[in-house]
Amino acid sequence: MSMRTQYCGLTTEALLDQTVSLCGWVHRRRDHGGVIFIDLRDREGLVQVVCNPEQAEVFKNAEVVRNEFCLRITGVVRYRPDGTVNSNLQSGKIEILAEVIEVLNPSVTPPFQLDDDNLSETTRLTHRVLDLRRPQMQNNLRLRYKVTMEVRKFLDANGFIDIETPMLTKSTPEGARDYLVPSRVNAGHFFALPQSPQLFKQLLMVANFDRYYQITKCFRDEDLRADRQPEFTQIDCETSFMSEREIRDMFEGMIRLVFKNALDIDLPNPFPVMDFATAMAFYGSDKPDMRVKLAFTDLTEVMKDVDFKVFSRAANMKNGRIVGLRVPGGGAMPRSEIDAYAQFVAIYDARGLAYIKVNERAKGRDGLQSPIVKNL
């Protein structure tokens, strides 16, 4: 028999009464006074293993097993007793009656339970191997793999050629500082790690490769931020003889395919299109978060003749502009929440936050509530 005949999480009633060999880690061990249960875990999930005292050698080995021991277990697949089915597991209808338990590698007591969701980042990184055994981390890396494979399949189907470009290259003007690697052969000279394959892919276009891609590492020596890190992976593409619209349509298709096949999410077809001027006029950003349904309402003309000089002066400037955010249901917002927003905008050097509550629209000015209403 093979060392492993089946993944734990994929062992189902389709294998009923068959002998299987499983390899994995002890997720949990339970001693029920004469019968020991082991939840054996591998990358596909869990399966329950039953160890009866009638199997003396099996039971002896099960008594010393603890969490995160690595085991090989051979046993027979059988239905779980009535009332013990676990519908949350793919293997939840069956269990394995152990015939052989082999300890491949014992484990010291783990510093934390893998299902603990309150771990600090320091603890997780200190024990990174254990952290990577957690379902969330396993799912993250498998999702990354799915995305990568979908991208490769799409680009291959559309005539792109996967070409590796050098990692040891020459320093070129980019958006950050380079990481430098000293040359042993040429003393005093250095290679630079690429911030992007920009020059290489342009050479490939001149060399008539027409459509190129690679999923590659890039390196940028810059300060860490939420969207910046020294080493990152990017999908790098270059094409020849395509219009802007053709490129946009093609890669919209790729993104839709990736979301559908990797996450089962349907994205709109086509994507909404917004030009730069519209984005800045209504959102004040060239990359607005469209999940936030708050667009600017232009109040410049309305404010030109008001008595409140802070507004009228700005409204009458050559390039002056006054905008407001219309917040549906904001009339019910308590003063404490408004004050919290005022403190928030102060972080970005705003001198204050003007607000107007519309309590009764039909009453016009009398239906408004604001410290500045009397000046408007």
Mean pLDDT over residues 279-303, rounded? 92
Beta-carbon count within 10 A of 328 CB: 7
Q: Which of 134, 153, 155 is nearest to 250 (CA)?
A: 155
What's the pLDDT at 362?
A: 86
**According to the CATH classification, is domain 277-375 in 3.40.50.300?**
no
Please tell me the least confidently modeled range out of 13-22, 111-120, 138-147: 111-120
Q: Does residue 1 register a pLDDT over 80?
A: no
Q: Which of 20, 3, 2 is nearest to 11 (CA)?
A: 20
Q: Does residue 258 register a pLDDT over 90?
A: yes
Q: What average pLDDT does the structure give for the chain?
A: 94
Do 8-105 and 277-375 share a fold? no
pTM of the shown model? 0.81
Please tell me the least confidently modeled range out of 21-30, 68-77, 335-344, 348-357: 348-357
Assign domain 8-105 to a CATH class: mainly beta
Higher pLDDT, 232 or 225: 232
Q: What tens digit of pLDDT does each residue of 165-208 get?
A: 999 999 988 888 999 999 999 999 999 999 999 999 999 999 99
pLDDT bracket for residue 309 (50, 70, 90): confident
Calculate ∠ Cα 299-301-305, nearest 5°.
Answer: 110
| Residue 136 host element (H or E) | helix 135-157
What's the pLDDT at 224?
A: 86
What's the pLDDT at 286?
A: 94
pLDDT bracket for residue 310 (50, 70, 90): confident
Q: Does residue 350 register a pLDDT over 90?
A: no
pLDDT bracket for residue 360 (50, 70, 90): confident
Higher pLDDT, 168 or 365: 168
What's the pLDDT at 34?
A: 87
Tell me how far apart the alpha carbons of residues 65 and 106 are, in angstroms, rounded to a whole number: 8
What's the pLDDT at 173?
A: 85
CA 359 vs CA 127, 337, 363, 375: distances in Å: 56, 17, 9, 18
What's the pLDDT at 65?
A: 96
Q: Does residue 339 register a pLDDT over 80?
A: yes
Beta-carbon count within 10 A of 290 CB: 10
Percentage, residues of the chain above pLDDT 90 = 77
Map out the domains of the chain as residue ranges: 8-105, 134-162+242-273, 164-236, 277-375
The answer to whether 169 and 216 have CB atoms below 8 angstroms apart is: no
What's the pLDDT at 252?
A: 97
What's the pLDDT at 118?
A: 92
What's the pLDDT at 141?
A: 97
Q: What tens digit of pLDDT does each residue of 204-228 get?
A: 999 999 999 999 999 999 988 888 8
Mean pLDDT over residues 42-51, rounded? 97
What's the pLDDT at 179?
A: 95
Mean pLDDT over residues 49-65, rounded? 95
Beta-carbon count within 10 A of 178 CB: 19
